[in-house]
Structure 1
Amino acid sequence: MWGQKHVRTVMVILAAVIGYIWYQFLPASVSDEVVFVTVPRGAALSSTARQLMEAGIIRSETALKLYMRLKGLSGSVKPGTHRFYRRLPVAGISAELVRSTQDRSVITVPEGFTIAQIQNRYNRLKEKTGTRFAYLTLNVPVGSVAFIPSDSMEGYLFPDTYPIADSDEMGLIRQMTANFERKVILNYREEIAAAGEKYFHEPDFYEALYKIVTVASLIEREARVPSERPLIASVIYNRLQKGMRLQIDATVSYVPGESTSNKKKTTLRDTKKKTGYNTYRIDGLPAGPICNPGLECIRAAFEPARTDYLYYVAQKDGSHVFTRTFAEHKKEKARSK
């Protein structure tokens, strides 16, 4: 009798284990929602599985890794932007991961991309040449987009993934600015207006937004460690309040429609260039945003940390040391060399 009970118990446990394992291979959702995930070149299967888990596309990292290893596909994941339906089971997810993304009709714009970088990526995907995207976004009739008080859209092209199969440059621009309005203005209008009043004494919402986005673009280009974004924002506002020039290296090399990255090393000669963006030569903010910041940098711009920091020094690992006095700043600068 005891033996039969024991067998039944084992069978129940075994069935539960099998059921649990089987469950991990099922779709994470019954939704038809499409999710785009960009797999970096050279990414390991484990990091890709983690990405998909964080995006809510799979139930279990282990299940995906096990399935792909059993199928001999663990080394076949293709880099690029993949399109997933949330209702796909692990087998479908696996099939998508090993499919080439070369011909995909979507563009992924990372946080911090400039107009020039978006132009280059769009042209590559569409197998085009020319600068129509840059021309359209740098020659905007003032007032044609209600929330952009400038002739440039730099800063307002929201980083995200967009379908471009049936879109020309103007179609992509409309998607990006509409996304900006939806994710930034509609969600954070009050916070942005309050920050504009507090830090710039700016009563006009769209002018306040322009300044906040400009600050966010500086943060995006300076911060490499996410937790430092509000700290860098605090340095910017503290210096502005004291009438100190910002002296941000990322502004030195920025040229609208041309810049694709920060210059690796800023020289004394660079800091003397006369441009409306060079914050070594001008007081206050640069003439406008120097890239298209992501939402977290925009949030940092209207919700900075409360500090009395006035300086920061970049470290070799991309982090920064923040200081309050010029003497401390010089010490940290000497240490970082």
Structure 2
Amino acid sequence: MLRGGCLIIAVIALVIAAVGGFFAVGWYGSGPLEEDTPFVVPSGSSLTAIAGQLEEQGAIGSADSFLLRAKLLGSSDPVQAGEFLLPAGASSSAILEMFQTGDVIRRFITIPEGMPSILVHEKLMAESLLTGEVPVPPEGSILPNTYDFERGEARADVVKRMSEAMDKTLAELWEARGSDIAVKTPQEAVILASIVEKETGIASERGMVAGLYSNRVKTGMMLQADPTIIYPITKGKPLGRRIRQSEISAINDYNTYSMVGMPKGPITNPGRESIAAVLNPDKTDAIFMVADGTGGHAFAVTLEQHNANVEKWFALRRQRGEM
């Protein structure tokens, strides 16, 4: 009788072990995915909803089994929102751990310094992993930078982050502004910075270019910035040809060759460094500048000095066969 009882106990133990082994294999063993597969966990998703999506995509055999095993064998840590790359054959255990502690796939979109809003809009619309329509953002409202986004995220949400970044940066820089600057408001700072951005070919010249244009604003001189001629024509896109004399003399709210003071609005989205330069420009008496052939400028205090610099530039252009 004792032997029979021991045999029954042994059989029960074997059954329990077998069931436990099967239960464990279903959690720790290889899963059904045949290839690496991207998977998006939407913000605020419950584990039940995620399990259903996993089953639909063939990452697990059963949502109910996954949830039961997760409850008994998995961690209770919260899952992260974002996009993950599930490797081929990933176990249910590995999938849950990845959602809880793994690396989210990060996707990026870069807005270069000086990119006008019309091109920002085109870049956003060309990103196929973003969704929804969005209008062209107001000029000067976007902070040039690199932004991460999630697959399927709304373009409007990305634009909102870009605009909030500009608002935050402008507020910080305005608080640190110099005492004797040419602009009276943060908006004026963005306008003048947009000109500095478009007129600066070498980063090290930003402060000097900002100082020159600040001097012109303070003394009531025309800014005479070529990019302000182009902006009303192309909204910031490259002109693709030389500026015509009729465009130089055109009267509008942007052309600083036919008006004193700054344009009515920014002509591009200036970067942080250009805004900082306008709010703390180099101390200089320069009021003239012309290209010097190196990508930078030759600066001058007097018209006589400037004319000499212009003649050097023209001579260089003739030497290059450009004139």
Q: Provide the TM-score with structure 2 as the length reference.
A: 0.59
Give how far 1:265 is off: 3.4
Task: Tell me, in whole angstroms, the C-alpha distance in 2 between the residues paired with 1:265 and 1:256.
Answer: 13
Aligned to 1:94: none
Aligned to 1:214: 191
CA separation of 1:178/1:300 partners in 2, compared to 1, >3 Å: closer, same or farther?
A: same
Give how far 1:224 is off: 1.0
Aligned to 1:117: 119
Aligned to 2:293: 316
2:283 pairs with 293, 306, 310, which one? 306
1:169 has 2:155 as partner: yes
Aligned to 1:59: none
Deviations 1:14-53 (A, max 9, x none): xxxxxxxxxxxxxxxxxxxxxxxxxxxxxxxxxxxxxxxx
Aligned to 1:184: 170
Alignment of 1:1-337 (within 5 A): 105-126=107-128, 132-134=134-136, 137=137, 153-164=138-149, 165-185=151-171, 187-192=172-177, 198-200=181-183, 202=184, 208-255=185-232, 258-261=235-238, 265-337=242-314
Task: Tell me, in whole angstroms, the C-alpha distance in 1 between the residues paired with 2:147 and 2:233.
Answer: 23
- What is the total number of aligned residue pairs between the two structures? 209
Contact 1:106 / 1:162 at 8 angstroms: preserved in 2?
yes
Give how far 1:190 is off: 1.8
CA separation of 1:130/1:176 partners in 2, compared to 1, >3 Å: closer, same or farther?
A: closer
Task: Tell me, in whole angstroms, the C-alpha distance in 2 between the residues paired with 1:176 and 1:120.
Answer: 15
Deviations 1:57-114 (A, max 9, x none): xxxxxxxxxxxxxxxxxxxxxxxxxxxxxxxxxxxxxxxxxxxxxx984311011000
CA separation of 1:107/1:265 partners in 2, compared to 1, >3 Å: closer, same or farther?
A: same
Alignment RMSD: 2.6
Contact 1:312 / 1:323 at 8 angstroms: preserved in 2?
yes
Task: Tell me, in whole angstroms, the C-alpha distance in 1 between the residues paired with 2:202 and 2:244.
Answer: 24
**The residue matched to 2:306 in structure 1 has which SS?**
helix
CA separation of 1:129/1:252 partners in 2, compared to 1, >3 Å: closer, same or farther?
A: farther
Moved over 6 A (4+): 127-131
Give how far 1:257 is off: 7.8
CA separation of 1:307/1:262 partners in 2, compared to 1, >3 Å: closer, same or farther?
A: farther
Give how far 1:267 is off: 3.5
Give how far 1:128 is off: 9.3
Choose 1 or 2 for highest CA Rg.
Answer: 2
Contact 1:309 / 1:324 at 8 angstroms: preserved in 2?
yes
- Could you tell me which amino acid in structure 2 is paired with residue 335 of structure 1? K
Task: Tell me, in whole angstroms, the C-alpha distance in 1 between the residues paired with 2:271 and 2:235.
Answer: 20
Give how far 1:329 is off: 1.2
Deviations 1:167-206 (A, max 9, x none): 3232122110111233331x323224x55x7424x3xxxx
Deviations 1:128-164 (A, max 9, x none): 9998431xx2xxxxxxxxxxxxxxx311201112234
Q: Percent identity?
A: 28
Give how far 1:266 is off: 3.0
**The residue matched to 1:291 in structure 2 has which SS?**
coil
